């Protein structure tokens, strides 16, 4: 499962680089499908990942406000900061937790850590697909989504 976190983080960084070719107006333009716009989609991915990982850890949720992260640089900084914290947790506490049952404040159901980790990974991949559609609508090539052939940055390097 760690490889998929490494994959998602690498692809996310490639999307941040890709976004540098767009104006802030284009990044914030409301789009059909997905969650509002390109920049908010990246913010949303980070927010969801961080919230679920904190839920697994039994920590209080931190509700990030998009108004505090309304530029590409600020969203990228949030991604880097939260990723470092998540990587530390995954490196030290990841194994042996898969069957642990977790409750989170935003849902009345309970989930296993394994379910949550799969959800986090799939959630990001889903939204990367939405970004790919929007890229094509803008007549740009999207970030490649291939897993095979990627040299992933190991989680130990975060």
CB 70 within 8 A of CB 39: yes
pLDDT value, residue 98: 80
pLDDT value, residue 134: 97
CA distance 26 to 125: 22
Helix, strand, or coil here: 107?
A: strand
CB 46 within 8 A of CB 79: yes
Structural domains in the chain, CATH included, are 2-103+117-157 (1.20.120.450)
pLDDT value, residue 111: 95
Nearest to 52 by CA among 127, 129, 119, 125: 119
pLDDT tens, position by position, 12-69: 999 999 999 999 999 999 999 888 899 999 999 999 999 999 999 999 999 999 999 9
pLDDT tens, position by position, 123-143: 999 999 999 999 999 999 999
- Token pair 């989504």 is found at 145
What's the average model confidence in pLDDT over 3-7? 95
pLDDT tens, position by position, 54-112: 999 999 999 999 999 999 999 999 999 999 999 998 887 667 788 889 999 899 999 99
pTM: 0.93
CB 11 within 8 A of CB 86: no
């Amino acid at each position: 499962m760690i490889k998929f976190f490494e994959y998602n983080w690498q692809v996310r960084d490639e999307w941040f680089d890709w976004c540098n070719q767009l104006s802030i107006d284009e990044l914030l333009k409301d789009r059909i499908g997905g969650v509002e716009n390109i920049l908010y989609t990246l913010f949303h991915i980070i927010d969801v990942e961080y919230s679920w990982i904190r839920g697994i850890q039994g920590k209080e949720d931190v509700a990030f406000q998009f108004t505090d992260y309304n530029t590409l640089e600020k969203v990228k900084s949030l991604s880097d900061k939260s990723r470092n914290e998540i990587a530390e947790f995954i490196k030290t506490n990841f194994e042996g937790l898969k069957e642990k049952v977790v409750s989170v404040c935003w849902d009345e159901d309970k989930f296993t850590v394994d379910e949550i980790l799969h959800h986090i990974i799939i959630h990001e991949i889903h939204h990367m697909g939405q970004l790919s559609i929007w890229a094509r609508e803008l007549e740009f090539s999207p970030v490649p989504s291939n897993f095979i052939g990627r040299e992933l940055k190991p989680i130990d390097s975060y």
